[in-house]
Amino acid sequence: MTAQLPEPPTPAAEVGFPDVEEMLRLLLDPLAPGRVDSERPADLADHLPFVQAYRFGGGDDGLTDYPSVAVDVFAARREDGDGVQGGRPLAERCRQALLTARDGTVGAGSGIDATTTVSAPREVPYGTSSDVRQWSATYRLSIRRTRL
């Protein structure tokens, strides 16, 4: 009689960190529908207001990802008015959306535990264009691993 080896255990579901830039897009898109991405369009002035949200650094401790993210808002004007969304209020709405995002806000199992504002939204020069104004802010998120 030949001894049979036991079946190997079924591997546990893979786990990993979610795509932070996709999470940002999903979270912020309701504030500027169809105008949120990690890359700026070449014809930016034709897509205002526009929110560019992307990861630029950060690390993890094996269980939690701590991405550093930037949120840049581009708009034709500073304040809301005449049916046009202003850059300063939109940048603040983005900040509030990030600060209040919690587990499940961006989709099942997103695992957003906390958001810290590193640098609040502030207007910064944008090239030589007088048609486009920019507000920049940076945040540090805390995001748990999820099943892939």
Query: Would you identify the CATH topology of the domain 15-147?
Result: STM4215-like (3.30.2000)
pLDDT per residue as tens digits for the range 98-115 = 999 876 566 545 568 899
Q: What average pLDDT does range 59-66 have in this prediction?
A: 93
pLDDT at position 70 over 70: yes
Q: Report which of 71, 50, 74, 52 is spatially closest to residue 134, judged by C-alpha positions.
A: 74
pLDDT at position 148 over 80: no
pLDDT per residue as tens digits for the range 110-140 = 568 899 999 999 999 998 778 899 999 999 9
Q: How far apart are CA 37 and CA 59, in angstroms?
A: 22
Residue 118 has which token pair? 């590193």
Burial class (CB in 10 A: 0-12, 13-18, 19+), 27: buried
Q: Are strands 64-75 and 133-144 parallel, antiparallel or unpaired?
A: antiparallel
